[in-house]
Structure 1
Amino acid sequence: MQEQYQDPLIEEALRWFGVLKDPKASDDDRRAFSHWLKEKPEHEAAWRQAQRVWMRVGKIGPAFANTPPATVVIPTPPPIVVKRPPHLRADPALRPVALRRPPPRRRGLLIGAVAAVCVAAPTGALLWRPGLLADHATAVGERGSVTLADGSGIELAGASSISVDFAGSLRRVVLREGEAFFRVATDADRPFVVEAEGVRIRALGTAFDVKLGNGNVSIAVSEETVEVTVEGHPPVVVGSGQQVRAGSGFVGDVREADLAMVEAWRQDRLAFRETPLGDVIADLQRYRVGRIVLTEARLGDIPVSAAFEASQADAAIDALASTLPIRASRFTPLLVVLSPRH
């Protein structure tokens, strides 16, 4: 059974962020916060931990790292509406923890503040908008398909997006976010090229999968061959049943691919074998609104072998917490923090 972890003091400290962020925060609010902070040593520790959580989630860092607690200023990102997916069930663990302070009218601020921070980049731009600058995109938890003008077909995984440029003699597709499966129509006079994070995949009459994740590009071929090129490196040929990982400045070794596992998402499943937890979380993130945060980078290296229903990302998080040395803390429906289980 999953170890249920809920720290009321950190909950309370996170809620104080919501209060102090509010432009209507009064001197009474700040005095109440200062009183709470000094009331017990545990409050100061909870506040510092809440700072670390908030900074990691929002990538805010220097904006308030050295700011006196009573005058914390949290940047306000552009407004955005985050919809709760149908499969996200109500959980008693997500109920707000009652605060002795601040006043009740401010208790709902945290969810809105975290929702905004969860989609805010350090510059204040949107961190998660797969459709931005794209011709075709899917939402979180959604799959889609596209038939191009040449008859080629593309399947898009959740929270994925592409841009298409068929001008001139080159058929060019840019994978901007997520994962896609390509089935390319043969045209010897017009090469078909997929670009993703500086990696160029050239194909003629073939089928293959391309996935972006943690700064890398994974390519797995199910039919015929593709040519993978990264600037400064010689092209690498990847044949049927093979895969390779590439990125800025490197191309990995070509190795055998488990195509059933690679393409499980096309049947609304996610499958992993000895996959680093960080990569697993990156995949789950495309099927769950909000943010999943690892408090320590080393947790991302834990190997995971498992299979999940793509529509049950929260159940997958619970399963990971029940089998790995981690605990899942749900601060709001939009924020899950994974930390070491001590």
Structure 2
Amino acid sequence: MPHPPDDFSREDDSLARHRSTLRAGFAMPELPAQAPRRRAPMVAAGIVALLGAVLWADPAWHTQRYATAAGERQHLTLPDGSDLTLNTRTVAEVEWHLRSRQVRLVDGEALFDVTHSTWRPFVVRAGETTVRVIGTAFNVRRADPRVTVTVLRGRVHVEDASGDAVLLTARQAAESFNGTLTARAAPDPGAAIAWKDGKLMFDRTPLAQAVADINRYRATPAVLTDPALGRLQISGVFDSARTDALLDLLPSILPVAVRREANDTVRILARSVVR
């Protein structure tokens, strides 16, 4: 004989009906199908791509600026063992990049003796002229708009803004001037670095250029009063620390006179003008 329903059965039936009503009114959203786990490989690929982009950009992670005053020279040994010697009135910025070593010659002249490194080339930028080496010794002089590169040992690749390029070996030089790159022999490359020993070396050098070189070692300049005097030529080896003596010597070498002003400026005149 069946038992009559108790109170608990009636409560269960009532809750069941309420659950059905609640599910119909507040249906839960369907969960999307779970995609295969590919996040880790994608993140790894992104990191590799980022590292590749950084290496390609070759950013500088450290930069050091060096400058010499009139008559001063400075020798530096870089962390990679390369030697850098700065001439008077020279400004250079040494940059360490991820995959290269770079120097920007802002002004003046520098002698480089580069330690060999196959995977980290050494690059010198002087204005629009770029010099690329692996291991060698060479001199770079920047006197805008002229840049001169002289190789003492090894080989260097020189390129200017126009894209013209030349490969130089020992006893060769290249000059970039007004968009033209010209290579030539340098029978005596030591003449290009005579400054390292405190010497000014002139070989049929126009006086205008010689005076410009002299002024790099002086606090007050020497001035040519007549541009025509600049075409006169001078030869000889002189002490860069004694430019006053060199200027006083000029009248015995060339048809010029030297006059000193109260502010220590030196004026170079044609001898006929003084008479």
* Corresponding letter in the other structure for 2:244: D
Aligned residue number for residue 172 of structure 2: 242
Supply the distance in 1 between the matched residues of 2:161 and 2:126 (Cα, whole angstroms). 13
User: CA contact under 8 A between 2:64 and 2:95: conserved in structure 1?
Assistant: no
Gaps of at least 5 residues in structure 2 are 1-62
The 5 A counterparts of 1:166-181 are 166-181=96-111
Aligned residue number for residue 127 of structure 2: 197
Shift in Å at residue 134 of structure 1? 7.3
Pick closer, same or farther for the CA change 1:298–1:168 going to 2, 3 Å. farther
Pick closer, same or farther for the CA change 1:202–1:290 going to 2, 3 Å. same
Bigger share in strand: 2
Q: Do structure 1's residue 164 and structure 2's residue 94 form an aligned pair?
A: yes
Query: Between Structure 1 and Structure 2, whose CA radius of gyration is higher?
Result: 2
Q: Which structure is richer in relative contact order (CA contacts within 8 A, separation 6 or more)? A: 1
Aligned residue number for residue 185 of structure 1: 115
User: CA contact under 8 A between 2:174 and 2:182: conserved in structure 1?
Assistant: yes
Please say which of residues 149-158 and 248-257 is displaced more in the overlay: 248-257
Please say which of residues 225-234 and 332-341 is displaced more in the overlay: 332-341
Aligned residue number for residue 66 of structure 2: 136
Aligned residue number for residue 328 of structure 1: 258
Aligned residue number for residue 229 of structure 2: 299
For the aligned residue pairs, the C-alpha RMSD in angstroms reads 1.8
The 5 A counterparts of 1:1-342 are 135-213=65-143, 215-342=145-272
The number of residues matched between the two structures is: 210
Shift in Å at residue 260 of structure 1? 2.5
| Runs of 4 or more consecutive aligned structure 1 residues displaced over 3 Å after TM superposition | none
Supply the distance in 2 between the matched residues of 1:277 and 1:187 (Cα, whole angstroms). 42
Seq. identity, %: 33
* Corresponding letter in the other structure for 1:319: L
Supply the distance in 2 between the matched residues of 1:215 and 1:325 (Cα, whole angstroms). 29
SS at match of 1:194: strand
SS at match of 2:116: coil
User: CA contact under 8 A between 1:199 and 1:247: conserved in structure 2?
Assistant: no
Shift in Å at residue 301 of structure 1? 2.3
Shift in Å at residue 308 of structure 1? 0.5
* Corresponding letter in the other structure for 1:152: S
Gaps of at least 5 residues in structure 1 are 1-132
SS at match of 2:131: strand
SS at match of 1:254: strand
